[in-house]
Amino acid sequence: MAKIAPSILSADFVNLERDIHNIEENGGDWVHVDVMDGTFVPNITIGLPVLRDIRRVTKLPLDVHLMIDRPIRYVGRFVKAGADWLTVHLEADTPENIMACLEMIRAMGCKAGLSLKPGTPVEMALPYLTKCDLILVMTVEPGFGGQSFMTDMLEKTRRLRAALDEVNPECLIEVDGGIDTVTQILCKQNGVDVMVTGSAYFKAPDRAAFVKTIQE
């Protein structure tokens, strides 16, 4: 069964606690938290204080996606703030520092994720596969919600699934960007385990039904 991780990037931040509880009530699996620094991506969202407050109001796993420059400076603090899954971008630092991030995250008892932008080839992720619990394939350009799904990214998920099955079959593949009731079918057909969805979830007339459609 696929997992769904509604992204609070599309929530009502005036009523964030209400919207997080709504994810719980409608059967969501994880809460996806997008952290953007205005440097690695051209947008700024939230940081450590908000994550700590989110941790206080939900028992759902927090799937924290760091779209920040040189994440090694902050991964320890995000784990301590309550992340259950913490994902860094392959492109955000040197290979040595990205490897150190993944090792640090796991050493602290958190699940480690590695994210790839649309233009990043699968080959660049191969050295990290045994250190990951999750690979996040961006199906839009990171930075803003509401973009259209990039179908050509499905070749990347297929290739990653094949590579992971050889060296780390327990590792999950997640996609983020443009996921709706149509694109989710394509994702399931191409090795995806977890789907991040923002605007499609929060705009759904029946959110519980939308969640079930993703999970089934």
Would you call 176 a catalytic residue per the annotation?
yes
d(CA 97, CA 148): 32
d(CA 4, CA 27): 9
d(CA 156, CA 41): 21
- Residue in 34, 63, 93, 193 annotated catalytic: 34
Give the pair of three-digit tokens for residue 153: 């990214």
Element (H, E) at 67: strand 62-67
Helix axes 48-57, 16-25, angle to 10 degrees: 50
Q: How far is CA 178 from CA 58, 175, 184, in A?
A: 25, 9, 9
DSSP type of residue 86 = E
Candidates 184, 206, 175; CA nearest to 7 is: 175
- Residue in 29, 37, 93, 176 annotated catalytic: 176
Report, as residue numbers or ranges, the catalytic residues.
34, 176
